[in-house]
């Protein structure tokens, strides 16, 4: 029986035709995604679901999806998909990471022009029969300084276009190397310097824990008087109320927003303010971009449903079905090793060195590399996937090296990951035991044997008596149950580490108590995605 795919959002007719040409039965119901109850009612009979942003793939929808194998998002953002629930259900989530980069970058440039010359207001005035030529005095872009927050794929295109407009470009991106910045022809700066110098500021970062409210009230106050702010990335990056106040006071001369904290945005502090340009999330809304992402998602889904090939998956590596059977546990390990280091590293990464020892060296190392790099990069960019992660790393100037060696220890095979920054090198190693479960076996050169759980706590300390009791006591008083407790040290009286696997996320007050003892050099909660 042929696989069945439901398209529940507006997608190009060409995507429908691709499914048909590949022998896949397809139902094109572009309005169904807006009716969550109806979607839940019918989703059980489909093998694949192709969507854009209107369809919300919730835990409830997934629970009703008895036969669903893959969800394909025509676009980059997957905030409308419960990826954890999909993973637990065994549903692959795919996106199209590169299909609308140019379109989004061009929209940011267009918004910059619009706010510089007050084009929307001038157009409305002229349509109304007024001739208010003197009212709409604008500014040139030539010679102005553009501050780009986030110089990745889209931000990099914006930098290139801005340089073509003869603008001076300064960029803030913790992962942008000086070498890469030089190649781009931009000046790498810290955020405070960007805020002080920029005539225009444009944001091109994902919404994460570290980027949320990056233009806070305090940071907006640090900006140059007369600055104009453009956001075509994600809502929640800017304190919209604080920006509205700065616009009213005249400190900020204008703003152009395509995204908002609450969407659909029917009310917003920025609405109806002078020289504020607002569009309804049109960053990817061009015929070219929609065609590209629609074709890409259809091809990816068809390939998976017919051959088992996985491309651009957010919760599964890009490997063949045959490889996945053998490599599955090692791919999981690779992701955990990367995630460990990613969560531990705050400063820009210069290099990622991956060592494959013994039997693992005969596997698909490209896929394993992708797993490691994706695990590292997900902290900065949650939408990164197995395919895009190495590209993102290269864009940021991160050197990736791989070493393959014959069996050198007690394990048949293991993987060791080392990250190099300007301040330090950090390494972690792991293996897969005969039970198919990944383990951490070494951290910072200290041997351990740690089972990996969803919630963990990593601590370092000087090797002195009482640490074990202190950890156990503090966890117990905080109501945190310890599932597994692993210790290691380099030598008696030297550096010691502890890795705790706990049943739930550790409350902030418990972490604060541990830090307040003064006995720990580091206290770090960790989270891992456990399928």
Which residues, other chains included, contact 25 with Cβ-Cβ below 8 Å and sequence gap of 6+? Answer: 2, 3, 4, 5, 19
The tokens for 202 are 């444009």
State pLDDT tens for residues 318-355.
Answer: 777 677 677 889 989 999 999 999 999 988 999 999 99
Average pLDDT over residues 279-308: 91
Residue 471 tokens, joined: 């950890």
Q: How confident is the model at residue 213 (pLDDT cuts 50, 70, 90)?
A: very high
251 is catalytic: no
The per-residue pLDDT for 492 is: 87
Helix (H, G, I), strand (E, B) or coil at 67: coil
pLDDT digits (tens, 9 = 90+) for 514-527: 999 999 999 999 99
Q: Looking at the chain, how many residues does it have?
A: 531
Q: How confident is the model at residue 465, as a pLDDT?
A: 92
**pLDDT value of position 457:** 97
Burial of 529 (0-12, 13-18, 19+ CB in 10 A): middle
pTM: 0.71
Q: What's residue 474's pLDDT?
A: 95
Question: What is the full DSSP assignment across 249-261?
Answer: HTSEEEEEES--S
Is residue 204 among the annotated active site residues? no
**What's the confidence (pLDDT) of residue 324?**
67
DSSP at 133: G
- The three-class DSSP label of residue 457 is strand
Higher local confidence (pLDDT), 210 or 243: 243
> Please, what are the domains in the chain?
1-99+284-314 (3.40.50.720), 101-278 (3.40.50.720), 317-443 (3.30.1330.90), 453-531 (3.30.70.260)
Residue 257 pLDDT greater than 70, yes or no: yes
| pLDDT (0 to 100) of residue 170 | 98
HEC per residue, 105-117: HHHHHHHHHHHHH
Mean pLDDT computed over 470-479: 95
Query: Given a cut of 80, is residue 316 above it in pLDDT?
Result: no
User: CA of 497: how far to CAs of 53, 461, 471, in Å?
Assistant: 44, 6, 12
Is 317's pLDDT higher than 80?
Answer: no
- Point out the catalytic residue in the list 52, 161, 204, 234: 234
Percent of the chain with pLDDT over 90: 78
Question: Is 67 a residue whose pLDDT tops 80?
Answer: yes
pLDDT tens for each residue of 149-164: 999 989 999 999 999 9
Catalytic-role residue among 190, 218, 263, 527: 263
Asked whether the beta carbons of 17 and 26 are under 8 A apart, the reply is: no
Look at phi and psi of residue 253 and say left if phi exceeds 0, alpha if psi is from -120 to 50, else beta.
alpha
Strand partners, 200: 146, 228
Please tell me the predicted confidence (pLDDT) of residue 490: 86
- Could you tell me which residue, 279 or 370, shows the higher pLDDT? 279
293-318 average pLDDT score: 87
Specify whether 234 is catalytic.
Answer: yes
Coil, strand, or helix at residue 447? strand
Catalytic residue of the set 228, 281, 379, 455:
281
Say which range, 25-34, 85-94, 417-426, has the weakest mean pLDDT: 85-94
Q: What is the mean pLDDT of residues 494-500?
A: 94
């Amino acid at each position: 029986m042929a696989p069945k795919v439901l398209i529940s959002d507006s997608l190009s007719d060409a995507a429908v035709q691709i499914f048909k040409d590949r022998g896949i039965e397809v139902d094109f119901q572009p309005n169904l995604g807006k009716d969550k109850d109806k979607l839940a009612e019918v989703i059980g009979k489909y093998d694949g679901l192709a969507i854009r942003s209107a369809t919300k793939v919730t835990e409830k929808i997934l629970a009703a999806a008895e036969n669903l194998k893959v969800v394909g998002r025509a676009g980059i953002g997957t905030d409308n998909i419960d990826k954890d629930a999909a993973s637990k259900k065994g549903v692959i989530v795919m996106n199209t990471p590169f299909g609308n980069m140019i379109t989004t970058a061009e929209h940011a440039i267009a918004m910059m022009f619009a706010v510089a010359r007050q084009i929307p207001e001038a157009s409305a005035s002229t349509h109304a029969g007024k001739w208010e030529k003197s009212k709409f005095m604008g500014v040139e872009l030539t010679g102005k300084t553009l501050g780009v927050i986030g110089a990745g794929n889209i931000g990099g295109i914006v930098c290139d276009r801005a340089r073509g407009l003869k603008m001076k470009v300064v960029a803030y991106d913790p992962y942008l190397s000086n070498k890469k910045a030089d190649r781009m022809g931009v000046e790498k700066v810290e955020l405070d310097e960007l805020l002080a110098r920029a005539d225009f500021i444009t944001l091109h970062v994902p919404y994460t824990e570290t980027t949320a409210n990056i233009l806070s009230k305090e940071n907006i106050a640090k900006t140059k008087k007369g600055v104009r702010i453009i956001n075509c990335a994600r809502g929640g990056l800017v304190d919209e109320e604080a920006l509205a106040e700065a616009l009213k006071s005249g400190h900020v001369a204008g703003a152009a927003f395509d995204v908002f904290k609450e969407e659909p945005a029917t009310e917003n502090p920025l609405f109806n303010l002078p020289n504020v340009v607002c569009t309804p999330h049109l960053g990817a809304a061009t015929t070219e971009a929609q065609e590209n992402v629609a074709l890409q998602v259809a091809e990816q889904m068809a390939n998976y449903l017919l051959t088992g090939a996985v491309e651009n998956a957010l919760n599964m590596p890009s490997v063949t079905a045959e490889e996945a059977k053998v490599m599955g546990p090692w791919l999981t390990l690779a992701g955990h090793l990367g995630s460990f280091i990613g969560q531990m590293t705050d400063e820009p990464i210069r290099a990622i060195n991956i060592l494959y020892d013994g039997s693992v060296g005969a596997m698909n190392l490209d896929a394993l590399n992708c797993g490691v790099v994706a695990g590292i990069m997900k902290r900065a960019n949650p939408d990164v996937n197995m395919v895009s992660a190495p590209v993102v790393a290269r864009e940021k100037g991160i050197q990736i090296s791989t070493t393959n060696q014959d069996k050198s220890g007690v394990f048949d095979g293991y993987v060791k990951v080392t990250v190099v920054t300007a301040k330090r090198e950090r390494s972690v190693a792991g293996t897969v035991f005969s039970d198919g479960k990944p383990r951490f076996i070494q951290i910072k050169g200290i041997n351990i044997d740690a089972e990996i759980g969803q919630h963990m706590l990593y601590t370092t300390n000087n090797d002195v008596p009482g640490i074990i009791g202190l950890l156990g006591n503090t966890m117990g008083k905080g109501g945190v149950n310890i599932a597994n407790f692993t210790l290691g040290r380099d030598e008696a009286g030297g550096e010691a580490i502890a890795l705790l696997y706990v049943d739930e996320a550790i409350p902030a007050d418990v972490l604060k108590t541990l830090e307040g003892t003064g006995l720990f050099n580091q206290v770090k909660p960790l989270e891992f995605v456990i399928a």
